[in-house]
């Protein structure tokens, strides 16, 4: 495959950026999207040029490190898929692909396609901790959890914090991320002691970081690689109201 790439290049957060055109040839349809960028970077290094900086780690769709806008869609055109698991077979020979970083004021560009997502870490930190009894290991079945509750908590906990929901949302809202992180703790028995405090602190931190509000565009759900449902945002709103009244 031969492809034309329009890639956003930006030296650092204080420098202006611009799209730069590249052409890559002999791209196998079985390559992942990041492997295709590796091919480009190898060529750039051989030519003595600065390679394209992009986030990656596990390359198995687990860590949530990878993330970029591909033709205007976070993680690209394939639903329920991270950038690292997107393969070139989903593009056609001769295609022009526009690649840019996640666009949100809360995710400032570090370099090229890499953005700073530390705001997510601060939201998690604001959630505090879960109380546990220290001492000998408790009986495994001493705290029973209904399967329906466990399944729902597992669905929420699947969030990998990649930031696609923020990047795709017209409001740059982090509601889906925060909802998933709050839900998987709040609905389990182990998370009850700090339930109200956790909800208020995480939402306040989200607001302080400058994320927008949810307007039910559902763009977040459409691009989430783990297909987290917007139903969790409704849960988040109920939790917040209950916590304020309590």
**103-143 pLDDT, tens digit each:** 999 999 999 999 999 999 999 999 988 777 767 776 767 77
Let me know whether 122 and 235 are in one domain: yes
End-to-end alpha-carbon separation of the chain, Å?
60
Is the pLDDT confidence value at 21 over 90? Answer: yes
Please report the pLDDT score of residue 34 as a whole number.
98
CATH number for the domain harbouring residue 69: 3.10.20.30
Please report the pLDDT score of residue 135 as a whole number.
73
Mean pLDDT for 216-225 is: 97
Let me know whether 188 and 223 are in one domain: yes
Let me know whether 14 and 96 are in one domain: yes
CATH number for the domain harbouring residue 187: 1.10.1060.10
Let me know whether 81 and 155 are in one domain: no
Please report the pLDDT score of residue 187 as a whole number.
94
Question: Rounded mean pLDDT of the chain?
Answer: 95
Report the distance separating Cα 56 and Cα 33, nearest Å.
Answer: 11
Report the distance separating Cα 88 and Cα 31, nearest Å.
Answer: 6
Please report the pLDDT score of residue 70 as a whole number.
98
Mean pLDDT for 67-82 is: 97
Mean pLDDT for 22-37 is: 97
Q: Could you give the dihedral angle defined by the CA atoms of residues 154, 241, 168 and 40, in that order, rounded to the nearest 10 degrees?
A: -50
Domain end (from 110, 136, 165) = 110
Is the pLDDT confidence value at 151 over 90? Answer: yes
Please report the pLDDT score of residue 137 as a whole number.
72
Let me know whether 215 and 181 are in one domain: yes
Is the pLDDT confidence value at 84 over 80? Answer: yes
Please report the pLDDT score of residue 242 as a whole number.
94
Is the pLDDT confidence value at 246 over 80? Answer: no
Report the distance separating Cα 124 and Cα 145, nearest Å.
Answer: 24
The domain of 206 spans 118-245
| Residue 46, number of CB atoms within 10 A of its CB | 8
Is the pLDDT confidence value at 180 over 70? Answer: yes
The 10s digit of each residue's pLDDT in 48-71 is 999 999 999 999 999 999 999 999
Please report the pLDDT score of residue 120 as a whole number.
97
Report the distance separating Cα 21 and Cα 139, nearest Å.
Answer: 61
Of all residues in the chain, the percent with pLDDT exceeding 70 is 98
Which of the pair, 131 or 1, is modelled with greater confidence?
Answer: 1
């Amino acid at each position: 495959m031969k492809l034309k790439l329009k890639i956003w290049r930006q030296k650092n957060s204080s420098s202006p950026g611009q799209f730069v055109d590249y052409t890559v040839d002999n791209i196998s349809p079985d390559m992942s999207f990041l492997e295709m960028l590796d091919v480009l970077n190898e060529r750039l290094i051989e030519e003595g040029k600065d390679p394209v900086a992009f986030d990656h780690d596990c390359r198995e769709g687990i860590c949530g490190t990878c993330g970029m806008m591909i033709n205007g869609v976070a993680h690209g055109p394939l639903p329920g898929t991270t950038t690292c698991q997107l393969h070139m077979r989903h593009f056609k020979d001769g295609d022009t692909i526009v690649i840019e970083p996640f666009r949100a004021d809360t995710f400032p560009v570090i370099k090229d396609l890499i953005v700073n997502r530390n705001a997510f870490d601060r939201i998690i930190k604001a959630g505090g901790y879960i109380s546990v009894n220290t001492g000998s290991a408790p009986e495994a079945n001493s705290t029973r959890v209904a399967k329906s509750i466990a399944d729902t908590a597992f669905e929420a906990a699947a969030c990998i914090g990649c930031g696609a929901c923020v990047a795709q949302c017209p409001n740059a809202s982090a509601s889906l991320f925060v909802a998933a992180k709050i839900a998987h703790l709040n609905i389990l028995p182990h998370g009850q002691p700090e339930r109200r405090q956790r909800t208020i602190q995480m939402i306040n931190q989200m607001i302080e970081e400058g994320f927008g509000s949810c307007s039910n565009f559902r763009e977040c759900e459409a691009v989430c690689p783990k297909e987290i449902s917007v139903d969790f945002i409704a849960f988040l709103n109920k939790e917040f109201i209950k916590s304020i009244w309590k």
